[in-house]
Each structure stands twice: as C-alpha cells, then as structure tokens.
Amino acid sequence: MNKPVLILGATSAIARATANSFALRGHDIYLAGRDMHELPRIAADLRVRYGVEVSYGSFDAEATDTHAAFLQSVIDQMNGLGGVVLAFGFLGDQIAARDFSFGAKVIAANFTGAASILSHCANYFEPLKNGFIIGISSVAGDRGRQSNYVYGAAKGALSLYLQGLRNRLFSSGVRVITVKPGFVDTAMTYGLPGLFLVASPQDIGERIARAPDKSADVLYLPWFWRYIMLIIKHVPEPIFKRLKL
Amino acid sequence: MAILVTHISGWGRYPVQSCELERPERYTDLCANTDSVIARGQGRSYGDAALNENGRVLLTERVNRMLDFDTEQGILCAEAGTTLAEILPVIVPKGWFLPVTPGTKFVSLGGCVAADVHGKNHHRDGSFGDHVLSLELILADGSRVACSPSERPELFWATVGGMGLTGIIGEVTLKLVPVTSAYMKVQNHAAENLEQLFAVLGDAEQDERYSVAWIDCLAGGKNLGRGVAMFGHHADADHLPPSLGNPLIVKPKRSKTLPFDLPGWVLNPGSIGAFNNYYFKHEGSKQRPFLSGYDEYFYPLDSVGQWNRMYGKRGFVQYQCVIPEGTAFGGIRELLQELSASRRASFLAVLKRLGEQGRGMLSFPQAGYTLALDLPLRNDGLLSMLNRLDEIVLHHGGRVYLAKDARLSAESFRAMYPRYEEFLAVKNSIDPDNRFSSSLSRRLGIAGKA
C-alpha cells in the first residue's frame, strides 16, 4: 500500500507531472496551491487517469502562520502522509535585484515559505521514522549570477536547508532529497532564448517520483546538469565575475 | 504570457509559416487576447488549418485534463487539448471505445471537433460531432458558453467542422461506445480493379461496422483501382482465445521514430510500385478473418513516429475529397486516371464509403465515397494537377476536406460548401471582428459579410 503524497505548489508543469508519476504508482495525492480554478481540474484528471483518491486545498507559501494548521488538516484528511514534494517556486527576474520589495517576495516564496512548511513536515515525519521529503530547488542556487541572483540566493538557501534537514532526519530513516532541475520545458521557460538541452516535465516528474526508491540525496535533472554545474562552480571568481551569465 | 515566434507547419510540412506561439497551461489562460488567433492542438491537420501567418497560434497541448469519466454511462468530459492517445488507455480497460476515430490517435479532442473528423465507421455511425454531447466554447469576447445539439444548436453545428473559427474549444463531452474487448476481428478482400472494389465496399452482405480500402494507384489500365478492402468489428470477448488474457488489455508494442528526413527521391514510382505489389499480395492473401489489437488496426502509421519525414524536406499534400453516391464510381475513376496518367505515385491511397451528410455547417462528409492521396511536393506541377482534380470533384458535386487542405481556392471552397453563408452568419454574430482566423480562413476567404 503506497501512502498519500502531498504536492505543495501543485499547478506547475513539473508538479503536475510529478503528481502523475506518483499516482501511476498508486499513491493517493493531496494537491496544495493557490489557484482554486486549476486545482480541481488537476485533481479530476489524476482520478480519471489513475483511479487514485485525490484531494486539494488552498495553500499560500507566504502565509507562514497558516502552515501548521494546513499540514494538520491534510494529515487528518488523508489519514497520514507517506511523503511531501515541495514544488512551488517563484522566479522573479531582474526587477527583483533592483527593487527589494519584489525581491523580498522572491525570498519569501522560495525560501522563507519553504523553510516554514518543511519544518512542520519534518516534525511530522521524524517520530514516524518513515517517509520522504523532496524539495525542488534549482541549479540557479549553485552559483550566483547577475541574471537571477535573488532567485538563486533563495534557492541556494533552500538547498542548504534541505542539506541540514537531511542530516537531522537521517537517524530517523526519513529521506530528504534535493532536486535541482536544469532547463525544463515549462511556462517559466517557454519562449526564452538561449536555452539548451531542455527536458520535458514528464521526464522530470518521473525521475522525481522514482527518487524515494533510489539512494541519491541530491538529484540533478537531467543528470548531466551535475557536471555542467560542477564546471560552473569551479570557474575562479576573478574570471566568473567578468562573465555575462 | 510568453510568446515564441517561430516557423511551423501542419503535418504535411507544407506550407511553413512564421507564427507567434503561445502555450497556456491554465484553463483560464485559454482566450483570444489579440487580433488574430487560432487554436492548435497536435498540429495534425495537414495544411494551414492550424497556422496563422504572423498571427497568434494558441497551443492547447498543456490544457489536457480529463475532468470526468462516467464508467456506467460511457461519458467522458475532458479539456480540448487531451489527445485520443491519452484517452484510449483510460477508457478501453473499462470497456469503452471512441465512437469515431481518425487514422491517428495523436490528435486532440478539440481538433477532432473542429475538423469533425470521420473514421472507418462513418457509413454506420456518422462523424465525430455526432457523438459530442456538449462543448464549452471560449468566444471572442472572452465569455465561456456551453453549446450542444439542444443548447445554442447553431453555434454548436457551426463549431463542429468549423476549423476553430467560431472560438476556442475548451471542453468536450463525448459519448463513448461499449466494447467487450480491445481486439478487432478483421477480414480483408482483394479486388483486382476499381469495379470490384466498389462492389465489395458497397456489398451490404459483407459490410461491417468499420470498412476502408487501400488502393494501388500506380496500377492502370484494366487494373485501375485495384486494392484491398478491409472490414472489421470489435471482437467479442467470448470469442477470443483464452491465451490473450484480459480481453480489455492489449500488450503495448514499442514504436519507432523516423529520425531524419528521407531524401525526396526515396519515394518514387519504382519504390512505391514495389511496395504496392508486396502489400497487395500480402494483405490480399489474408483470406480468413484475423484478430488485431485496436492500436494496430486503427493506427498502423502511429507506430512510426514522424512518418511525415518520409516525404523529404519539401513535405507533401494530402488530397482528400468525397464524390457523392450517384456518380462516385465514375468520379473516383476519373481522379485515379488523372493520377495514373501523371505517373505520380501516392504512397498512401485510401478509399472509403461515407454515410449521410453530417450536421456541421462546414463538415466534410457527405454520402458517397472519399478518396485520400498523399502526394509529395516536387517541382513538377503537382498543384496544377490538384486544380484539375478539384474540377473533377466539383463537376460531380463533391468537396475537398479542409483538415487536409493546403491549396484549395476560395472560389472552389464556396462551390463545395453550400452552407458556407449560414456558417458565416453564425460567425459574424459571435466574432464580428474576425478574431478567430487562420492562414486557411484567409486563403479561403472565410470572413466578412455573408
């Protein structure tokens, strides 16, 4: 019997593909997000395609004071959880760097909100000595670049947070997996120039759903991004600061 | 929302045009937010129906949620971007099948409605639109309206077969047909010439729910129109060998993809003739009925992904027309003679009997026989030959299928589609600024005052 999976930020293409892949494996699904027009449609689709139980509810990453009650209501409704996928993210752009009021939003959504809900999730799974937490971070968090460093900083902080959480929960047998997607063919990237080796959300979702059964702690998706980022991380700073990235 | 300006084409890879692509992922983002928009599902229409040169093309591929499946009544409601390939594995194991399916499952529900597609069972069951219970249509003013044969029927029948020109099809509710197995019982009949082929297809004794004929269009003279008629019906689970296991599940086969464009010369009268001889002997020799999985039966070409690359970089035109019952034999013979005389090889030539005229105002089917030809584009006057075929079709009171078309003239279109003005009156009432327009609608002059 596969236990229910909570998808946080369930309306993005990657989240939807991940929910599909978990449902295909027989997991019931709880979809959490802000768009109450989309959530029932995605929920219906999962039920029709995979015959699993699907619930959904409103969740706002930035409203951190609601997170504890939210998670408890999901646990009650689903009769326990087997795992959580944190899939929300908010890519500001250049504006975020110039205007901190916008940058604060990027940090609040990608990091503060994530850290808040993940702390509640960790407290739930730790005593159960079971379960998984998958956080979707980004390769943008591996090194700061002028084109998206506010987003990158928030995602980098998320990666560090997940790393610490993994260390804490290791002894409880709870898996904590950091996912770092490269370019994925989503609404976030559609029409952007200069992308290469763009992966399909279906492929990424499938890899994410397989991750709890595999041993990797940090998953670059697709795999070759591990090596691309390895190179990028090792460019000496005196050179890197001159690059237009 | 982000826009991608790029060159795209239909399945025939002709014409290729620059369009502004937009790919919404949310249902609420499906709307006409600019002067000229056409929705595009899987891009499986052959010509320019889902192209909008220098205009907006709204890709519906990500708006593909199945919203409800009533397994008791066999009623499926889904967003229009959902493909038949996604629907089949959901409905077949529950004992249901598509009421009508075209020759590929890689088409969207919205496309099936917009082109009012038909299948091998048109002579029995009509076209796709006949099985649609209702639609949600997104109009030019942004409103979302339900329409069905009983609610706003004019809008419904203008949209069925309306090539996306009345609005964006958002949701489709479809009545399915019950089956007890995922297998087809198939029976082939070889015919040495067109007369025999017509006799077989028109024979009420042999007729089955599904019928279609393949024609060797390189055969001329006394063998003109030789081919193989293929009949089939959904096999009854009780008549299947127990070794097949669950009758509603067919083990999937791996599909292959044509990885590159074949050079244009590969398909020539010699190679096609050799294939046709082989195919005629091989298929024609199957005298006994045999079982076939539904995938193999309905979608043989889907097992080769990107098979349109077979015709080389320049692409091809699919010419599909219908000739009314009364003069069908003479008309089809004239068309085949014209083709045979030009020594032009059509790799795929299909003949099929159609049933009654559909209710869609611009629907293609009419009682008679339809012939479909795939013709590669070369520098050899193909388009002028197709104009001659148009004349033959018009002379016999037939018409050309818009979902396949890339080159018909506005004048011929109006002569072939007598309900055009009725369609235009509906369109003008809901889309007075002609926001929903495509390269096809401009070429055929589908706009303005009726």
Mark whether B232 and B112 lie in a shared domain.
no
Contacts of A44 in chain B (CB under 8 A): 65-68
Of the ranges B130-144, B192-206, B227-241, the best mean pLDDT one: B130-144
Mark whether B193 and B77 lie in a shared domain.
no
Q: Assess if residue B446 is contained within a domain.
A: no
Beta-carbon count within 10 A of B131 CB = 17
pLDDT in the model for residue B350: 93
Residue numbers of the domain that contains A58:
5-240
Mark whether B319 and B221 lie in a shared domain.
yes
Mark whether B219 and B84 lie in a shared domain.
no
Contact B90 A45 (CB under 8 A): no
The CATH number of the domain holding residue B160 is 3.30.465.10
- Closest approach of B3 to chain A, Cα-based (Å): 6
Helix (H, G, I), strand (E, B) or coil at A116: helix
Helix runs in B92-175, H state only: 109-114, 122-125, 153-159
Is some CB atom of chain B closer than 8 A to the CB atom of A192? yes
Contact B1 A38 (CB under 8 A): no
Selecting from A12, A49, A191 the residue whose C-beta is nearest the C-beta of B66 gives A49
Contacts of A185 in chain B (CB under 8 A): none
CA angle A121/A125/A130 to nearest 5° reads 140
A-B contacts (CB, under 8 Å): 46
In tens, the pLDDT along B370-419 reads 999 988 888 778 889 999 999 999 999 999 999 999 999 999 999 999 99
In tens, the pLDDT along B213-234 reads 999 888 888 888 899 999 999 9
Contact A42 B62 (CB under 8 A): no
The CATH number of the domain holding residue B191 is 3.30.70.2520
Beta-carbon count within 10 A of B259 CB = 8
DSSP state of A111: I
Q: Assess if residue A245 is contained within a domain.
A: no
Closest chain A residue to B71, measured at CA: A48
In whole angstroms, give the CA distance from residue A70 to residue A61.
11
What DSSP line would sit under B200-224, residue for residue?
Answer: HHH-TTT--SEEEEEE-TT--GGGT
**Of residues B363, B223, B341, the one with CA closest to residue B280:** B223
- Closest approach of A191 to chain B, Cα-based (Å): 4
**Of residues B133, B114, B104, B130, the one with CA closest to residue B40:** B114
Residue numbers of the domain that contains B361:
183-412
Domain boundary among B179, B194, B220: B179
In whole angstroms, give the CA distance from residue A31 to residue A12.
11
Mark whether B156 and B212 lie in a shared domain.
no
Q: Assess if residue B420 is contained within a domain.
A: no
CA angle B166/B132/A41 to nearest 5° reads 80
Mark whether B190 and B223 lie in a shared domain.
yes
Contacts of A91 in chain B (CB under 8 A): none
In whole angstroms, give the CA distance from residue A54 to residue A34.
16
Range with lowest mean pLDDT among A138-152, B52-66, B263-277, B283-297: B263-277
Instruction: Inform me whether the pLDDT recorded for B196 exceeds 80.
Output: yes
Contacts of A11 in chain B (CB under 8 A): 25-26
Contacts of A19 in chain B (CB under 8 A): none
Instruction: Inform me whether the pLDDT recorded for B48 exceeds 90.
Output: yes
Q: Assess if residue B371 is contained within a domain.
A: yes
Contacts of B23 in chain A (CB under 8 A): 187, 190
Contact B65 A45 (CB under 8 A): yes
pLDDT in the model for residue B284: 79
CB contact residues (below 8 A), chain B span 33-92, against chain A: 62, 65-69, 79, 86, 90
- Single-letter code of the amino acid located at A94: Q
Helix (H, G, I), strand (E, B) or coil at B176: coil
Contact B23 A45 (CB under 8 A): no
In whole angstroms, give the CA distance from residue B405 to residue B441.
11
Which position has the token pair 């008309």? Answer: B331
The two tokens of residue B360 are: 């869609």
Instruction: Inform me whether the pLDDT recorded for B330 exceeds 90.
Output: yes
Q: Taking residues B260-267, what's their average pLDDT?
A: 77
The two tokens of residue A163 are: 């790393």
Contact A37 B26 (CB under 8 A): yes
Q: Taking residues B286-314, what's their average pLDDT?
A: 86
pTM for the model: 0.94
Q: Assess if residue A111 is contained within a domain.
A: yes
Pick the residue with more confidence: B216 or B448?
Answer: B216
For residue A222, say if its preceding peptide bond is cis, omega within 30 degrees of 0. yes
Mark whether B88 and B211 lie in a shared domain.
no
Is some CB atom of chain B closer than 8 A to the CB atom of A36? no
Pick the residue with more confidence: B393 or B276?
Answer: B393
The CATH number of the domain holding residue A236 is 3.40.50.720
Is some CB atom of chain B closer than 8 A to the CB atom of A194? no
What DSSP line would sit under A168-215, residue for residue?
Answer: HHGGGT-EEEEEEE-SB-STTTTT-TT--SPBPHHHHHHHHHHGGGS-
Contact A44 B23 (CB under 8 A): no
pLDDT in the model for residue B244: 85
Q: Assess if residue B444 is contained within a domain.
A: no
Closest chain A residue to B89, measured at CA: A49
Q: Assess if residue A64 is contained within a domain.
A: yes
**Of residues B160, B173, B109, the one with CA closest to residue B359:** B160
Mark whether B354 and B384 lie in a shared domain.
yes
Domain boundary among B179, B197, B215: B179
Range with lowest mean pLDDT among A46-50, B15-19, B263-267: B263-267
pLDDT in the model for residue A1: 59
Residue-level pLDDT, tens digit, chain A, 245 residues: 589 999 999 999 999 999 999 999 999 999 999 999 999 999 999 999 999 999 999 999 999 999 999 999 999 999 999 999 999 998 876 666 678 888 899 999 999 999 999 999 999 999 999 999 999 999 999 999 988 899 999 999 999 999 999 999 999 999 999 999 999 999 888 988 888 889 999 999 999 999 999 999 999 999 999 999 999 999 999 999 998 87
Q: Assess if residue B10 is contained within a domain.
A: no
In whole angstroms, give the CA distance from residue B48 to residue B38.
11
Beta-carbon count within 10 A of A11 CB = 24
% of chain B residues with pLDDT over 70:
98
Which of the residues A41, A200, A202 would you substitute to probe the B interface, choosing the one with the greatest number of B C-beta atoms within 10 Å?
A41
Which position has the token pair 């708006």? Answer: B63
Instruction: Inform me whether the pLDDT recorded for B343 exceeds 90.
Output: no
Q: Assess if residue B417 is contained within a domain.
A: no
Q: How many domains in chain A? A: 1
Contacts of A186 in chain B (CB under 8 A): 25
Contact B66 A37 (CB under 8 A): no
In whole angstroms, give the CA distance from residue B434 to residue B166.
9
Mark whether B87 and B207 lie in a shared domain.
no
Q: Assess if residue B52 is contained within a domain.
A: no
% of chain B residues with pLDDT over 90:
74
Contact A49 B90 (CB under 8 A): yes
Mark whether B240 and B170 lie in a shared domain.
no
Domain boundary among B125, B152, B179: B179
Mark whether B138 and B196 lie in a shared domain.
no
* Region class of A140: left (phi > 0), else alpha (psi between -120 and 50), else beta: alpha
pLDDT in the model for residue B254: 66
Beta-carbon count within 10 A of A229 CB = 18
Mark whether B173 and B250 lie in a shared domain.
no
**Of residues B103, B21, B58, the one with CA closest to residue B296:** B103
Pairing of strands B349-354, B304-305: unpaired
Q: How many domains in chain B? A: 2
